[in-house]
């Protein structure tokens, strides 16, 4: 063995390269993958990979529709087998998942294991435990109008559904909807985000290896492939991402009157009162902002609203706790994800360089473009008409807006688009009740941030521009199920009152029956109006 292989110090490991030069590492990795694919495609026994064009897409959908029409996916046994296969993916491949997310986002292993793998495991566990109950028709009451009768609501799968996922939590946001679609008995096409290529590739491999490929398929690619998929007629489309693409998805779905779930985002506010445990509040804000993929999460706090008087104390506490968590040089911290790519890095840099906010930075603001890193950054007294307040930040920048009285914060929130989540830290019962009653958002959390995402008995979704529809737990099953109304009647009790010839007596009686009034029925029978 040569000396260059014996001396490990003379070599640069892939892991070292991925940490120190992420942009270069990603480009080299993609080049290597393309060379491997080219080499495979050039072999005599391996046919060249066909382009995913409209014809290939149409064929894929047709085959999945044939599978669904066979009734295979409707059975309880099939649904359980596929949910168990998904759970096995998480159990068998956690190291590969951690590596893929490190490649795509430099995501800390703890964040991957807890916020993606563990949450998916729990989603599978809940679905497997509750599936039989969810599938059981729901008995409902009937009225005198249909007496004698019985009724129930039957949950049936939509058919073949398309799931388009996002890059920031690429495993969780891909497979959590898939769990709901499978539990409801649908055939599925998953389109992962091309912005997280390592995860997209791993998802395609794992679902190809573990799942029933006659019913569940992965399509990789970028804009062209997504556009091709959207040209097809689906039975439901589930999209996670931004509002701009959400509008494209909704427009494509409208051509076929296809129902949609849109999981979008928005500017999630945090209201901070002065009568609180400030240290705990600061830590929870930090965990929700920078501890969630360095702010690259749809439910991360987007900005803080507090009083002018309390803002300096809040800033000082945030600074102290941030230094405890990420050290004096957070750009070198291994506990912070990097910015996903140069486009998003430049977008965030533009927000910071805006003349209206460049002088408002009170903490952080350091950038390293070669490593795609931006340190946790706090900005104080940011104008509401600044660029950073005009769009969802989706990064490690946290503006603080100040008001004279905290009650004004509710007006500030309600003057903008409805956010995906809104948070408040207070011990004031009246303010808390007012916040819950008057702030419209996808979800609210009092005295914490982001944790509602982990409660499977709560629906997760947006309202207005932050989204359409919801999922998680039973709500995922419902999102991919049509609620079919079924009324049962016998041949007994057939009344002539509904049949011609129509008379005034029949009119009075039918009005009383539909109104559900026993006294009205008696009055009608005796000829009283």
Q: Give the active site residues.
A: 263, 298
| Separation between Cα atoms, residue 116 and residue 173, nearest integer Å | 8
Residue 451 DSSP one-character state? G
CB 141 within 8 Å of CB 129: no
**β-bridge partners, 306:** 402
Q: Exposed, middle or buried, 64 (CB in 10 Å: 0-12/13-18/19+)?
A: buried
Structure tokens at 106: 């430099």
Alpha carbon 155 to its chain centroid, in Å, reads: 23
Beta carbons of 468 and 462 less than 8 angstroms apart = yes
* Cβ–Cβ under 8 Å, residues 399 and 379: yes
User: Can you list the positions of beta strands (E) in 183-341?
Assistant: 187-191, 216-218, 236-240, 260-263, 269-272, 303-307
List the one residue out of 91, 461, 484 whose CA is nearest residue 299.
461
- Nearest partner of 361 among 373, 349, 344, judged by Cα: 349
Q: Cα(58)–Cα(43) distance, rounded to whole angstroms?
A: 28
Q: Which of 289, 114, 106, 86 is nearest to 176 (CA)?
A: 86
Q: Which two tokens stand for residue 487?
A: 């009324």
């Amino acid at each position: 063995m040569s000396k260059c292989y014996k001396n490990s110090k003379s070599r640069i490991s892939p892991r070292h390269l991925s940490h120190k030069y992420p942009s270069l590492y990603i480009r080299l990795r993609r080049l290597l993958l393309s060379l491997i694919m080219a080499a495979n495609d050039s072999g005599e026994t391996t046919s060249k990979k066909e382009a995913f064009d409209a014809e290939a897409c149409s064929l894929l959908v047709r085959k999945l529709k044939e599978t669904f029409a066979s009734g295979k996916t409707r059975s309880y046994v099939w649904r359980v087998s596929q949910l168990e296969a998904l759970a096995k993916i998480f159990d068998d491949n956690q190291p590969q998942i951690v590596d893929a997310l490190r490649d795509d986002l430099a995501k800390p292993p703890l964040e991957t294991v807890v916020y993606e793998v563990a949450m998916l495991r729990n989603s599978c566990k809940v679905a497997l435990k509750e599936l039989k109950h969810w599938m059981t028709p729901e008995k409902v009451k009937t009225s005198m109008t249909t007496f004698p009768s019985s009724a129930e609501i039957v949950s049936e799968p939509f058919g073949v559904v398309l799931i388009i996922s996002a890059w920031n939590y690429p495993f969780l946001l891909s497979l959590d909807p898939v769990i709901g679609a499978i539990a409801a008995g649908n055939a599925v096409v998953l389109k992962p985000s091309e912005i997280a290529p390592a995860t997209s590739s791993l998802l395609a491999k794992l679902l190809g290896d573990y799942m029933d490929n006659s019913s569940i398929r992965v399509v990789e690619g970028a804009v062209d492939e997504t556009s091709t998929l959207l040209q097809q007629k689906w039975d439901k489309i589930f999209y996670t991402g931004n509002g701009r693409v959400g509008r494209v998805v909704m427009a494509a779905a409208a051509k076929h009157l296809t129902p949609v779930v849109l999981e979008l985002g928005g500017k999630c506010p945090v209201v901070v009162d002065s009568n609180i445990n400030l240290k705990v509040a600061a830590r929870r804000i930090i965990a929700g902002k920078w501890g969630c993929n360095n702010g690259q999460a749809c439910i991360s706090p987007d900005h803080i609203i507090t009083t002018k008087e309390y803002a300096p104390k809040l800033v000082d506490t945030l600074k102290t706790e941030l230094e405890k968590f990420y050290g004096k040089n957070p750009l070198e911290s291994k506990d912070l994800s990097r910015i996903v790519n140069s486009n998003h890095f430049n977008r965030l840099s533009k927000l910071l360089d805006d003349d209206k906010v460049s002088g408002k930075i009170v903490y952080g603001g350091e950038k390293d473009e070669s490593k795609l890193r931006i340190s946790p950054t706090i900005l104080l007294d940011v104008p509401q008409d600044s660029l950073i307040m005009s769009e969802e930040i989706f990064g490690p920048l946290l503006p603080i807006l100040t008001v004279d009285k905290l009650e004004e914060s509710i007006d500030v929130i309600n003057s903008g688009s409805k956010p995906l989540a809104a948070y408040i830290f207070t011990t004031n019962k009246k303010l808390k009740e007012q916040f819950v009653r008057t702030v419209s958002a996808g979800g609210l959390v009092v005295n914490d941030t982001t944790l509602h995402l982990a409660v499977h008995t709560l629906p997760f979704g947006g309202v207005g521009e932050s989204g359409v529809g919801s999922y998680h737990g039973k709500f995922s099953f419902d999102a991919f199920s049509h609620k079919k109304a079924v009324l049962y009647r016998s041949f007994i009790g057939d009344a002539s009152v509904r049949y011609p010839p129509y008379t005034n007596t029949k009119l009075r009686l039918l009005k009383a029956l539909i109104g559900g009034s026993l006294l009205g029925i008696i009055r009608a029978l005796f000829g009283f109006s």
